[in-house]
Amino acid sequence: MGKVVVFTEPRKIGFDEYEDRALAANEVRLQTLYSGISAGTELTAYRGSNPYIHKRWDDKTKLFLPAETTSMKYPISGWGYEECGKVVELGQEVSKVKVGDVIYGTWGHRTHHVVNEDYASKRILPATLDPILGIFSQMGAISLNGVHDAAIRIGETVAVFGMGAPGQIVSQLVKKSGARVIGVDLIDLRLEMARKLGAIDIAIHGKGGNVGEQIKALTDGRGADVAIEATGFYTALHEAIRSVAYSAKVVAMGFFQGAGQGLYLGEEFHHNRINVVCSQIFGVNPELTYRWNQPRLVETGMRLQAEGVLNLRPIITQVYPFSEAAEAFRICDYEPEKTIQVVLDFTH
């Protein structure tokens, strides 16, 4: 029997067992090694603020609609999208992977998972990488997609709002693109980590406010060429809009919850003609659709780790045994000042 994390109700963690079914001829069984916790989107399901819990998503019209039967309700089982595991069993016809291969992907906080051979063969972890780094396959893709949406040019100044895991990855990518990077956060640990890793040139602590004014002062009054918002807070999005130059771009990567309190669209957004672009992993910039898709984003993010372009092991700040999942989620929720990336360890 396998075991999977369940959100039994808001901010409550449990475990369910599930049958470890027999394999089809073209399938492989994975034993999870590590699973990362997303401190953004995943916590919306943990906390109960995700719109799928309160409304029904209509895929035909692409609208959230009021409904008695919502798209998601508690208990919520199998959340999680930052996994890495090893192949422990092969179907009779499998030839492209072997027992012991380490596979990265998305299958939730569960002890075992079955995938087809094609899925596994395209997601074999580079041999030079520590298996724990396989958890960054999805977050790396999300971050790379955001940088592509930003369309940064060499020599530009880019402000990154939020130095959590996605902001750390974004900052490293942006820095490698030849930009000057300004990192903004409320948490000292995250700013210090980004500076230590060489991902940012300037750190701004957002607690004192006036971030827009500070960035304008650092750019001779012009403002940043691009801002990337990676927090999911409306106040940060508003400050990102305030921080950029006239007719510049703000990329909104965060998953915003509830009403837009703290976002004043009649101010700098309107008067400075700011272009706010949504970046979301299920789509790419329309200009790139003939060359880029989600699988290529995932593969590229992992390759950049293997080549040393991305240095992500230091941003893993806590590793908890799978059995202590409740504490791992609690620290993400209540003590974010201590964390960047939290990981569940299934090997002990």
Q: What is the 3-state secondary structure (H, E, C) of 260-286?
A: CCCCCHHHHHHHCCCEEEECCCCCCCH
The β-bridge relationship of strands 157-161 and 180-185 is parallel
- 3-state DSSP assignment of residue 181: strand
| Residue 348 confidence (pLDDT) | 82
Please tell me the number of Cα atoms within 13 Å of 276 on its side-chain side: 18
The CB density around residue 201, as the number of other CB atoms within 10 Å, is: 17
| Residue 165 confidence (pLDDT) | 97
C-alpha distances in Å from residue 135, one per residue of 19, 60, 322: 24, 32, 14
| Residue 131 confidence (pLDDT) | 97
pTM of the model: 0.95
| Residue 168 confidence (pLDDT) | 98
- 3-state DSSP assignment of residue 244: strand
The CB density around residue 35, as the number of other CB atoms within 10 Å, is: 27
Phi, psi of 147 (to 5 degrees): -65, -40
| Residue 217 confidence (pLDDT) | 97
What is the sign, positive or negative, of the torsion defined by CA atoms of 257, 258, 259, 262?
negative
C-alpha distances in Å from residue 286, one per residue of 70, 143, 187, 250: 31, 17, 35, 17
| Residue 208 confidence (pLDDT) | 79
Nearest in space to 338 (alpha carbons), one of 189, 166, 147: 189
| Residue 27 confidence (pLDDT) | 97
Single-letter residue type at 2: G
CA distance 115 to 335: 35
Q: Where are the alpha helices (DSSP H) in 9-75?
A: 41-47, 51-54
Tokens of 277: 């672009």
CA distance 279 to 260: 18
Low-confidence ranges of the chain (pLDDT < 70): none
Q: Are 264 and 102 in contact (CB under 8 A)?
A: no
Domains of the chain: 2-125+312-345 (3.90.180.10), 139-286 (3.40.50.720)
What is the sign, positive or negative, of the torsion defined by CA atoms of 174, 176, 182, 187?
positive
